[in-house]
Amino acid sequence: MPDKKPTNEVDALSNLGRVDRAAILLMALGEKDAAEILKHLGPKEVQRVGTAMATLSSVNQSQVEGVVAEFLEAVSGQTGMGLGSDAYIRNMLTQALGNDKAGALIDRILLGGNTTGLDSLKWMESRQVADLIRHEHPQIQAIVVSYLDADQSAEILSNFDEKVRLDILMRVASLEAVQPAALKELNDILERQFSGKAGAQTTTMGGVKVAASIVNYVDSAMASELLDQIKEVDEDLGIQIQDLMFVFDNLVDVDDRGIQVLLREVSTDLLVVALKGADTNVQEKIFKNMSKRASELLRDDLEAKGPVKVSEVEASQKEILTIARRLADAGEIMLGGGGEAMV
């Protein structure tokens, strides 16, 4: 087993998020090897890592050494440098991209790159997907939106006008299951377009929880507008969706241990921007779950931080919420608030 990372390496990485670490690692590998890795990533992953590579500045030697050492530690338990090893591939990509982004990518690679027709949509830009389904029956649109990840579905919905958005989301909320034959027909149509191959069929999808997850990812103004419109049509449904939503202010209801686990996954730079527009109660919740020294430094950073665009604050808060949901799905923390029952 490798020795525990020295304190200076830990400090060097403390302000770097997962995507930044992946970007530094790729730059350290060199153009040829980095290109070999990037060609296996989907558009969203390439965009995120590429943006990080383009915007990183003042990366010092200790940070490069820390990232490389962390990567080597993660793969050192594998033999033959992972040739033919599923475990090596899973560890490498999870280390580089985090659980959220690595999950679907890992499955795609380990299944030999084959995807179903619907899965092919996950590798397209949201605007392309919106254009592809724009003239389909609203129920088909709802099935597609239910099937994809919530953040991508939210981006797809933003490409429709408000009347269509409302109709699709209402159908998503009321959707419970799709007949295998209907799903296979939709898959076949998409596969003919993308030359994909058939995969496992998923027939249970949609529902109020999926609708709430999608609304969580749209911008605040659109989310508020959608909820008001849904309540006008079906007040009970609108309340159910609202109750299942988890927003940044709900972090105040997460227990102290959960906040501490979350903070270990969030970079300081990301946290500073997110807290610029946060409720005072949320800020205090964060401060109380940090060491006195770390809390003082964070307060100083907040005071020194100049004006930040609302869109940047919302983007940072959503990134932290994505991490929180991933930790909750893994059973590492419990998300309280938002009306969601806990057991």
What is the pLDDT, as a whole number, of residue 287?
Answer: 92
Residues of the chain with CATH 1.10.220.30: 119-244, 248-329
Q: Would the pLDDT of 336 be above 60?
A: no
Q: Greater confidence, 198 or 45?
A: 45
Q: Greater confidence, 330 or 145?
A: 145
Token couple for 238? 């609108």
What is the pLDDT, as a whole number, of residue 263?
Answer: 92
Q: Which of 44-48, 135-139, 227-231, 268-272 has the lowest mean pLDDT?
A: 44-48
Q: What is the mean pLDDT of the chain?
A: 75
Token couple for 307? 């004006």
Residue 343 binned pLDDT confidence (cut-offs 50, 70, 90):
very low
CATH of 119-244, one of 1.10.220.30, 3.90.79.10, 3.90.1150.10, 3.40.50.300: 1.10.220.30
Residue 241 binned pLDDT confidence (cut-offs 50, 70, 90):
confident
Q: Which of 60-64, 251-255, 305-309 has the lowest mean pLDDT?
A: 60-64
Nearest to 218 by CA among 283, 160, 276: 160
Give the Å distances, CA to CA, from 255 to 49, 276, 336. Answer: 32, 22, 8
User: Which architecture does CATH list for 248-329?
Assistant: Orthogonal Bundle (1.10)
Question: How large is the average pLDDT for residues 58-74?
Answer: 77
Per-residue pLDDT reduced to its tens digit, 280-304 = 889 999 999 999 999 899 999 888 8
- What burial class does residue 266 get, using C-beta atoms within 10 Å of its C-beta: 0-12 exposed, 13-18 middle, 19+ buried? middle
Give the Å distances, CA to CA, from 175 to 146, 149, 178, 211. Answer: 8, 16, 8, 10
Question: How large is the average pLDDT for residues 172-177?
Answer: 82
Question: How large is the average pLDDT for residues 205-210?
Answer: 75
What is the pLDDT, as a whole number, of residue 89?
Answer: 57
Give 31's contacts (C-beta < 8 A, 6+ positions apart). none
What is the pLDDT, as a whole number, of residue 200?
Answer: 39
Per-residue pLDDT reduced to its tens digit, 13-60 = 667 788 888 888 888 877 777 777 877 776 677 777 777 777 777 777
Which range in 5-14, 27-36, 109-118, 229-238 is most confidently predicted, on average pLDDT? 229-238
Handedness of CA 281, 283, 284, 286 (dihedral sign): positive
What is the pLDDT, as a whole number, of residue 260?
Answer: 92
Residue 342 binned pLDDT confidence (cut-offs 50, 70, 90):
very low
Which range in 32-46, 105-119, 161-175, 204-218 is most confidently predicted, on average pLDDT? 161-175
What is the pLDDT, as a whole number, of residue 65?
Answer: 77
Question: How large is the average pLDDT for residues 94-115?
Answer: 54
Are 21 and 13 spatial neighbours (Cβ–Cβ below 8 Å)?
Answer: yes
Give 76's contacts (C-beta < 8 A, 6+ positions apart). 2
* Tokens 């690679």 belong to residue: 109
Distance, in Å, from the CA atom of 88 to the CA atom of 91, rounded to the nearest integer, reads 5
Q: Would the pLDDT of 207 be above 50?
A: yes
0.85 cut: is pTM over it? Answer: no
Q: Which of 83-92, 113-122, 267-276 has the lowest mean pLDDT?
A: 83-92
Give the Å distances, CA to CA, from 331 to 96, 203, 258, 327, 343. Answer: 21, 25, 10, 6, 12
Q: Would the pLDDT of 124 be above 70?
A: yes
Q: How far apart are the first and last CA of the chain?
A: 37
Token couple for 93? 């990509």
Residue 38, SS3?
Answer: helix
Q: Greater confidence, 121 or 231?
A: 231
What is the pLDDT, as a whole number, of residue 27?
Answer: 80
Give 275's contacts (C-beta < 8 A, 6+ positions apart). 282, 283, 286, 298, 302
Question: How large is the average pLDDT for residues 59-67?
Answer: 78
